[in-house]
Amino acid sequence: MDRREFVRIGVAAGAAAGSNRVLATPAGAASKLGSGGILDAGVWEQQQMMEAGKLTSHSLTSQYLARIKTIDKSGPRINAIIEINPEALKIALEMDRERNLKRVRGPLHGIPVLLKDNIATGDRMSTTAGSLALNGIRAARDAHVAAQLRAAGAVIIGKTNLSEWANMRSPHSVSGWSGRGGLTLNPYSLDRNCSGSSSGSGAAIAAGLATLAVGTETDGSIVSPASICGLVGIKPTLGLVSRSGIIPIAHSQDTAGPMARSVADAALMLAAMTGVDARDPVTQDSAGKTGDYRAALQKGGLKGRRIGVARNFFGSNDELDAVIEKALQDLKAQGAELIDTEVPNVGKYGDSETEVLLYEFKADLAAYLKEYAPHAPVSNMADVIAYNQKHGQQELPYFGQEYLERSQAKGDLDTPAYREALANNQRYSRAEGIDQVMREHRLDALVAPTGGPAWLTDFINGDHFGGSFSSPAAVAGYPHITVPAGHVHGLPVGLSFVGAAYSEAALIGMAYAYEQATLHRRAPQFPASVSLAVR
């Protein structure tokens, strides 16, 4: 399929008054628009056009909505969007009015953003985690993340599809499928999977359906689809971004984070998402630790950095390893010092991680439903299980709900088995895991392949991942950034940067320097399948 049918949408002129400059060019970044024009551009380019009076938020939002109709709902039908915000154009007009009055709120003013459909919005959209049990249920109020983005001037244009219940329904699930939303397709090969659970957020930003998107992660749900969709994804330190108002899996690991086409865009979005929230006590720890993410966007961000190469996360795919070995040489060329090492004790929290998630899912879901969806037809895990059994043709056609059933069978959070599993996770992922290897080798970061290339979607056998570097940072609650590193047969793969708690600014600097030195991202072409002739 010829991508030009979808992306050559011209820039509509708009009447924005005067230059009200809010965003300087990141150091060394190219300001030239790509082949997709303004819709594939980033925050900086779009802000420049609005400041120059050549674009309005209303026209930009209108073009994205038109592109969603052209690419998401027809054409290749990637099915990334689960719902459009009926108030999107109204919000965009208000942002234009404020700009005309020289009241620009910041870098995200008037920028179209998509939210994963497990993030509550107190508007006319539903918040469902992809479940038909919550279809039509409007949240009592915005999640803290949604409120932060609105306050920053972002235009929330819709919700993205996801792996139902953030992929915590069955060990035989198909990522990117939900009962409410159906299956999201991979823009780089329509027969392959986007990974998950932030599948729609990944596919949408790869395809240029908005400037930015929010994903959520418990273990891999931001960084895996970001890597597979050729994006930058940031899984922040636990507590840097509030969890309140996000349909949960587990409070000990859940976090929202940005998904974007560049490190600069992801950094700007992360800055807007952070903030202490009275409804989420863990965010108190982030006070004074957020860092200056915009200032971190420097081409020299790798110079003098000591980076550990986590060799125990190589070996799942020879062609992937070859791409990452080239990435390591690029890191060295930018002034980094590489030390071969391993992350210790990664095999000691696999089973206990699952146990913690199962215990917390039951408790945290009931708490969310009581506060944000009190009028929903389900109020706890047992209700969700019963709903799915009653509506099995719609909800259970491809795989079951074993994780929900196992979660329901667990006790409360005072159960000794839960407390022991949580302590085990924290010990081996933190003090005797990431902290240990970084202290022993005096490291600034760890790097490894984010994961393998996209696999064929298979409703009979379910997902079959090709390696993953997500668990150490996810279980520890530490930051993790993935950046496009190249391609395997035309399928994107990412390089991961992982660091200590609240080291986002340093990781952003390293990721930005690598990105700007390599510029591996390519826009998708929506092929029906992969050509094995493409390396």
d(CA 350, CA 417): 15
Q: Are strands 212-217 and 112-116 parallel, antiparallel or unpaired?
A: parallel
Dist CA 223 CA 462 (whole Å): 20
Residues 447/497, Cβ–Cβ less than 8 Å: yes
Q: Of these residues, 197, 201, 407, 470, which one is catalytic?
A: 197
Residue with tokens 């080291």: 503
Alpha-carbon span 214 to 234, nearest angstrom = 10
**Which of 57, 116, 189, 195 is labelled catalytic?**
116
Q: Determine the residue type at 508.
A: I
Rounded CA separation 341/133 (Å)? 46
Q: Give the length of the chain.
A: 535
Residue type, 316: S
Residues 265-303 as b/e (b if ≥16 CB within 10 A, e otherwise) read: bbbbbbbbbbbbbeebebbeebeeebbebbebbbbebbe
DSSP code of residue 478 = -
Active site residue 116: yes
Catalytic site residue 197?
yes
Q: For residue 117, which of 149, 163, 68, 48 has the smallest C-alpha distance?
A: 163
What whole-number distance in Å separates Cα of residue 110 and Cα of residue 93? 9
List the one residue out of 495, 481, 135, 131 whose CA is nearest residue 328: 495
221 is annotated as an active-site residue = yes
Of 175, 221, 224, 244, the catalytic one is: 221
Structural contact between residues 254 and 217, judged by C-beta atoms closer than 8 angstroms: yes
SS3 284: helix
Name the residues annotated as catalytic.
116, 197, 221
